[in-house]
Amino acid sequence: MHSASTRSPGRGETLLAVGAMAALAAVLVFVLAEQGRFSPAVLLAPASPTPPAGSSPAALLARWPGGLSAMGQAELFTPATLSDKIDGKAELYLSAGFLALSCQRVSLKGSTSWMEAFVYDMGRPADAFAVYSSQRRPEGRDAGLGDFSYAAGNELCLVHGRYYIELVGSDSGEAVLGSASALASSLIDSRPVTEHATVAEKALFPPGGLVADSVTLVPADVFGFDRLKNVFLARYQVGGEEVTLFLADRGSEAGAAKAAAELQAFLVTECGGTAAGQTAQPPGGAIVDLGGAFDAVFCRGRFLAGVHQAASSQGAERWASVLWGRLGGVDR
Amino acid sequence: MKPETSGPDPAPPSRREFLRRAVQAGAGVAVTAALGAWLLDRRPPGTIGRIAAVDARRSFGPKGAGPTLSIITGRARRQMLRRGLAAVGGIERFIARGDRVLIKVNAAFASPAALAATTHPDVAAELVTLCLAAGAASVIVTDNPINDPESCFELTGIGPAVRAAGGRLFVPRADSFHPGTVEGSRLIRDWPVLHSPFAGVTKLIGTAPVKHHHRAGASMTLKNWYGLLGGRRNQFHQDIDGIVSELARMVTPTFVVLDGAQSMMSNGPTGGSLADLKETRTLVVSTDPVAADAYGATLLGKTHRDLPYLAAAAALGAGTVDFESLRPVRAAAEEEG
Amino acid sequence: MRITTARRIAQAFFFLLFAWLCLVAAVGTGWFQWRGWPIRWFLELDPLVAVGTVLTTHSLYPGLAWALGTIVVTILLGRVFCGWICPFGTIHQAAGWIGRHGRRPKLVIDSNQYHPLQRLKYGILAAFLVAAAVPPKLTGLAHLHTGLLDPIPLVQRSFNLVVLPVAGLGSGGGFSGGRFYAESVVIGTVFLGFVLLNFAVPRLFCRFVCPLGALLAILGRAAPFGIKTRKHACTECGACNLNCEGACNPKGPIQVSECLLCMNCFEDCPTSHPIGYGPRPSLAGEITSPGLSRRGFVASVVAGLAVVPLSRLSGSDANNWQAGLVRPPGAVAEDEFLARCIKCGECMRVCPTNVLQPAGFSTGMEVLWTPVLNNRIGTSGCQMDCVACGYACPTGAIRRLTLDEKLGRGESRGAGPIRLGLAAVDRGRCLPWAMGRPCIVCEETCPVSPKAITVEEAQGLSPDGVAVRLQRPVVDPSRCIGCGVCEHECPMNGIRAIRVSADNESRDPAHSILLHHENKS
């Protein structure tokens, strides 16, 4: 299309063209200089949609155990932002007094496997135990780490004083679980605690028929009752019969009696139960018929205790009597 | 626009022509630079279309003498009004020759005069007549009604009566309002307030009927100032006592006329049935709207304690709830016919 | 060095620079992110943006002072911007070159003849500017509509919202794509349509439509320098039309206003130097008037005068204001917003959550393609710690906020936070309110502290008749900032059970629903 012009540019034209090129060079210099002066928008705004809650720690650990290395930075979540990370599970943690979650992904060197470490600061060992026990998987094996621990599938979970730690692997291979143990030990060592989780209440439950590792501390909303908090539950299996025993230290005899009365009233008014008499042993205990399942509520000393969902009124009374006996030694 | 062409192959380009164009271009560049410098960030974002609020206070209190109050019994509103004014010193005490008078009536609803939801046309017309007789240069009657303004003035009968008496009706439009602030006010800040009918005005008279009000308890001369507010004023219903008491501080009238010939005892402020009305046969003229309303409350079987805005208005210095302290003149109007 | 070579280099340079500045418009400090790149620069160079906003606001937003430079260059040299700089022009030139490749020279020469309809663009410009210049006393602030056809906002919008996302370069953070834009089909069709029309007539947009070209033509019509032709040396062969971009009739009398200074006539003229560049006038005669007839001019003025009252007739800026249009943080009151916004899409490109979207036809012609929040489409609502949109806005339709100003803290404590609107629970759709199922997602995700969403404890019946404890969300209007995070997260993912409207937005005091002092908490 283009007529092959043999015209050679004159001096004026060349001068003009070179002038234009000089102008382009000036623009380029301006643009390159500008890009180094950061816009306030960039300095103020987060690059990712997740709002950072306070300062993010650079890493969970100053030095990673051999074979592990960090993938990206650690993230920090507060009560206000916890649900961004764990969504629906947040309520369980929040009701147990959650303070902060630090988490970070780590990769296994020389493998495609990785895991994510979650360190929940629950404030008190009892609260750490509460979130640990209420999520404990029945098939978990004791891992011998921290105050309480278990390994199940691709997970290793443990209580270390006020901390609840979860290590979740990308698979359940030997390499991952081995690294998880090493990482757990490092995390424990890097976080010295003064108070350990010792759950004296565990020993108060009668051993006969107790389902292994079923003792759970429920932080709030026990049996759906919003005023019933921090209650230990234990599941029992004898023959084909299943029943749950519960107990809670209410601090004083009066406190325990009040809690027992409130729970009894809740079962009758809110759960549609009917009072089904009193127990002789424990003295003054109440049996409530919840449409075929029977609950017993009583107190001894500063303990509120009882039986949940026994198959019969007699069964409820029998279990109540056993539990009452166990509380005898510590009721003052 | 005829294309300007130079002829075919004219003389070689003259230096003069180039210079002419260069000067023209130079002038263009200079104008561009000057305009740019003048316009640069002259009105930063967020400052355009905002009209600065002015002081919204409306002070037209009568000079000399303390507050006065007259309580007149009777049936005929015109006679009661004349008697009531005479009892507090006559219209001449308030309106002088050459005054420009603004009368704020209650024309909130397009309902007939018989339902007593609005200022009675007799009261409005008699006020106009009296003011003109006292030598007022002009008398303007206005309100910012809730229903369509034109029909409110016509259907209540206020419009025709005022025109017949020689007064002028002011029907507010969107541009009749101006943002206003009352110093120290919590609620009336940068809020559209009826502005243009006040231009040149020297005296302000308020007049309202005695009405039950679901939100405020009762609507009388103080609640009547609500009609001076523009904008989406119904949000003030979140704090009705606050806004009525602040209106009391915003407006100091020359005097008010509270018409209790009939009082709306229930279903206020709209009413709608003659069954809501009671013949209370009273009319109050006062320079103190708080005292007038405090007396009006008794016509509704209430006391000033039932209307928290009265005490609040008194606390803001708008008047007194103890109307007896004003030594009210009590009299009966001669009945006509 | 040939001048046409220099021009091609310049066009390539500015086009690549433009594409780069679109590409990096993503919040971040990385090399492929915003950093300090002057992402608004092409818009700021555009005199039509400057003139349009000056006419509506009587003020020049500081960055737009760049346009003064363009105006000065145009006054001295003519339409250099069109032929050398404009990225849309470069696209048209490339498309036109492809379109005419292989066609018979006669047809090509004919397609580059001056056509009287090229005067249409002056009419378009006059209508736009008259609409922008209507005095506010008559009708209130004028709405600015130049952005619909102004080539820089048009190409910027098309690149930001269509071209880059389609190419998988749509991300707010690097190259990960995954952006969504409403209206993309219409915006893309307009863009592609104008580009494809080059196959029918080269530079059709530039010659017949472009209001910026028209403005520059008027500014540069008496430039002291330009193309000049020596008539006596001309053989009337027509070769100068072979690649003439502006269809300005170089052989004379030249249509000065149409010349884009592409300099192709130099190259194509077979005789020795009948065409040159330098001080004027051209020896073959020149036509400097745009040539718009009086009738055409009056029609344009009338059309422009009608635009403002026409767009106000809907009452959408009065009692019938559109509470569905939730504007970005820092957006000025709607009247002024529409007097400033040029629909360039910069804010929508930089928005890290993709929540800013172009408004569609259904919301009215006057707000078409202006930014609104759509909490369903993005990855979240408006982020608390982000003010990027205001810094991307070239005209101040969105103010540049500090974080303190946005959040109502520090020196801005007294003014309260910027409220985009108000969330309201739809109790007929909300799981715990209407369906007896527990859910507190909105309360959990509310980023305001203390939370604007609280829960009321209630006993309810689950669908199978069992008593359940429910927590039902309630919004506190004095705390809600309208960020839309709750709406985004609501599990009723069709029509959300909590939705944000522009009620109580802080940019317009008349839209407040609470008493003055309550909104300052």
Query: The domain containing residue B123 runs over which residues?
Result: 68-331
Say if the Cβ atoms of A5 and C17 lie within 8 Å: no
Mean pLDDT of chain A: 83
pLDDT tens-digit map of A166-209: 998 888 888 888 889 999 998 888 887 778 887 788 888 998 88
The DSSP result for A204-231, as a single string, is: HS-STTBPTT--EEE-S-BTTBTT--SE
Token couple for C78:
């003519």
The domain ranges of chain C are 3-223, 314-418, 422-501
The predicted pLDDT at position C179 comes to 83
The predicted pLDDT at position C198 comes to 94
Domains of chain A with CATH codes: 68-190 (no CATH), 201-330 (3.40.1000.20)
Say if the Cβ atoms of B1 and C294 lie within 8 Å: yes
Token couple for B172:
């507010």
Residue B6 lies in a domain: no
pLDDT at B148 over 60: yes
pLDDT tens-digit map of B211-268: 988 888 889 999 999 999 988 888 888 888 889 999 999 999 999 999 999 999 888 7
Query: Are residues B177 and B235 in contact, defined by beta-carbon separation less than 8 angstroms?
Result: no
Which residue among C62, C72, C336 places its CB closest to the CB of B48?
Answer: C336
Residues in chain A with CB shorter than 8 Å from the CB of C269 are 5
Which residue among B41, B187, B235 places its CB closest to the CB of C59?
Answer: B41
C-alpha triplet C146, C148, C150: angle, nearest 5° = 60
pLDDT tens-digit map of A249-304: 888 888 899 999 999 988 888 888 888 888 888 888 899 998 888 999 999 888 99
pLDDT at C521 over 70: no
Q: Which of A306-315, C241-250, C416-425 has the highest mean predicted lDDT (pLDDT)?
A: C416-425
CB atoms within 10 A of CB B166: 15
pLDDT at B8 over 70: no
Q: Identify the H or E element spanning B69.
A: strand B69-73
Say if the Cβ atoms of C515 and B236 lie within 8 Å: yes
pLDDT band at C493 (very low <50, low <70, confident <90, very high): confident
Mutate to test the interface with A, among C8, C14, C27 (most CBs of A within 10 A): C27
Say if the Cβ atoms of A34 and C37 lie within 8 Å: yes
pLDDT band at A230 (very low <50, low <70, confident <90, very high): confident
Mean pLDDT of chain C: 88
Place of tokens 């007038």: B292
Report CA A298 to chain centroid distance, whole Å. Answer: 31
Say if the Cβ atoms of C28 and A2 lie within 8 Å: no
Say if the Cβ atoms of B3 and C287 lie within 8 Å: yes
A47 near C CB under 8 A: yes
Gap between the Cα atoms of A95 and B188, Å rounded: 44
The predicted pLDDT at position C141 comes to 77
- Is residue B112 reached through a cis peptide bond, with omega within 30 degrees of 0 on the bond before it? no
Helix, strand, coil percentages in chain B from 3-state DSSP, rounded to 5: 40, 20, 40
Residues in chain B with CB shorter than 8 Å from the CB of C51 are none
Say if the Cβ atoms of C27 and A45 lie within 8 Å: yes
Mean pLDDT of C126-137: 87
Residue B1 lies in a domain: no
Say if the Cβ atoms of C396 and B6 lie within 8 Å: no
Which residue among B6, B39, B239 places its CB closest to the CB of C515?
Answer: B239
pLDDT at A332 over 70: no
The predicted pLDDT at position C500 comes to 97
The predicted pLDDT at position B63 comes to 77
Residue B206 lies in a domain: yes
Which residue among C17, C266, C392 places its CB closest to the CB of A31?
Answer: C17
Q: Identify the H or E element spanning B181.
A: strand B177-181
A330 near C CB under 8 A: no
Burial category of B244 from C-beta neighbours within 10 Å (exposed 0-12, middle 13-18, buried 19 and up): buried
**Neighbors of chain C by Cβ distance (3+ pairs < 8 Å):** A, B
Gap between the Cα atoms of A81 and B278, Å rounded: 62
Q: Which of residues 376-405 of C touch B (CB under 8 A)?
A: 396-399
C16 near A CB under 8 A: no
pLDDT at A55 over 50: no
pLDDT tens-digit map of B66-121: 788 999 999 899 999 999 999 888 898 899 999 999 999 998 888 888 888 899 99
Count Cβ neighbours within 10 Å for each residue of C155-167 and write b for 16 or more, e otherwise.
Answer: bbbbbbbbbbbee
Mean pLDDT of C144-157: 96
The predicted pLDDT at position B117 comes to 87
Say if the Cβ atoms of C353 and A3 lie within 8 Å: no
The predicted pLDDT at position A330 comes to 66
Residues in chain C with CB shorter than 8 Å from the CB of A80 are 447, 449
The predicted pLDDT at position C329 comes to 96
Say if the Cβ atoms of B236 and C291 lie within 8 Å: no
CB atoms within 10 A of CB B1: 12
Residues in chain C with CB shorter than 8 Å from the CB of A270 are 459, 467
The predicted pLDDT at position C460 comes to 80
pLDDT at C325 over 80: yes
Which CATH number is B256's domain given? 3.40.50.11440
pLDDT at A51 over 60: no
CATH number of C422-501, picked from 3.30.70, 2.60.120, 1.10.10, 1.20.1420: 3.30.70
Amino acid identity, residue C479?
A: R
Q: Which of residues 59-118 of C touch A (CB under 8 A)?
A: 84, 100-102, 105, 108
Domain count, chain B: 1
**Neighbors of chain B by Cβ distance (3+ pairs < 8 Å):** C
The predicted pLDDT at position C226 comes to 85
Mean pLDDT of chain B: 87
Query: Which has the closest alpha carbon to B194: B204, B185, B184, B186?
Result: B204
pLDDT band at A305 (very low <50, low <70, confident <90, very high): very high
Mean pLDDT of C323-340: 94
Residues in chain C with CB shorter than 8 Å from the CB of A31 are 17, 37-38, 41
Which residue among C140, C224, C517 places its CB closest to the CB of B22?
Answer: C224
The predicted pLDDT at position C330 comes to 95
The predicted pLDDT at position A7 comes to 65
Residues in chain B with CB shorter than 8 Å from the CB of C399 are 45-46
Q: Which of residues 233-262 of C touch B (CB under 8 A)?
A: 253
Q: Which of residues 17-46 of C touch A (CB under 8 A)?
A: 17, 27-29, 33-38, 41
How near does any CA of chain B get to the CA of C330, in Å? Answer: 9
The predicted pLDDT at position A47 comes to 39
SS3 B188: coil
How near does any CA of chain A get to the CA of C150, in Å? Answer: 23
The predicted pLDDT at position A54 comes to 35
Q: Which residue of C has its CA nearest to A2?
A: C268
Residues in chain A with CB shorter than 8 Å from the CB of C5 are 17
The predicted pLDDT at position C171 comes to 57
The predicted pLDDT at position A194 comes to 76
Q: Which residue of C has its CA nearest to B239?
A: C515
The predicted pLDDT at position C418 comes to 94
The fraction of chain C above a pLDDT of 90, given in percent, is 55
Report CA C387 to chain centroid distance, whole Å. Answer: 19
The predicted pLDDT at position C170 comes to 65
C–B touching, 3+ CB–CB pairs within 8 Å: yes
Report CA B198 to chain centroid distance, whole Å. Answer: 8
ipTM over 0.85: yes
A13 near C CB under 8 A: yes
pLDDT at B61 over 70: yes
Q: Which of B61-65, B184-188, C9-13 has the highest mean predicted lDDT (pLDDT)?
A: C9-13
Say if the Cβ atoms of B45 and C396 lie within 8 Å: yes
pLDDT at C134 over 90: no
Q: Which residue of A has its CA nearest to C1?
A: A14
Higher pLDDT: A32 or C139? It is A32
Amino acid identity, residue A307?
A: V
How near does any CA of chain A get to the CA of C142, in Å? Answer: 30
A46 near C CB under 8 A: yes
Residue B63 lies in a domain: no
The predicted pLDDT at position B5 comes to 39
Higher pLDDT: C282 or C264? It is C264
pLDDT tens-digit map of C184-195: 999 999 999 999
Which residue among C5, C33, C350 places its CB closest to the CB of A17?
Answer: C5
Q: Which of residues 176-195 of C touch B (CB under 8 A)?
A: none
Residue B326 lies in a domain: yes
The DSSP result for A257-296, as a single string, is: HHHHHHHHHHHHHTS--EEEEE-TTTTT-EEEE-SS-EEE
Which residue among C2, C28, C400 places its CB closest to the CB of A47?
Answer: C28
The predicted pLDDT at position C516 comes to 62
Mean pLDDT of B131-145: 92
Mutate to test the interface with B, among C215, C230, C332 (most CBs of B within 10 A): C332
pLDDT band at A1 (very low <50, low <70, confident <90, very high): very low
The fraction of chain B above a pLDDT of 90, given in percent, is 42
DSSP state letter for B271: -
CB atoms within 10 A of CB C437: 15
The fraction of chain A above a pLDDT of 90, given in percent, is 20
Query: Are residues B285 and B72 in contact, defined by beta-carbon separation less than 8 angstroms?
Result: yes
The predicted pLDDT at position A48 comes to 39
pLDDT tens-digit map of A102-129: 888 888 888 888 888 999 988 888 889 9
Query: Which has the closest alpha carbon to C426: C461, C473, C384, C360?
Result: C473
Say if the Cβ atoms of C383 and A39 lie within 8 Å: no
Token couple for C444:
């959990």
pLDDT tens-digit map of C401-431: 988 889 887 777 778 899 999 999 999 999 9
- Number of CB pairs, chain B paired with chain C, less than 8 A apart: 138
Say if the Cβ atoms of A35 and C36 lie within 8 Å: yes
Say if the Cβ atoms of C59 and B39 lie within 8 Å: yes
Mean pLDDT of A41-48: 58
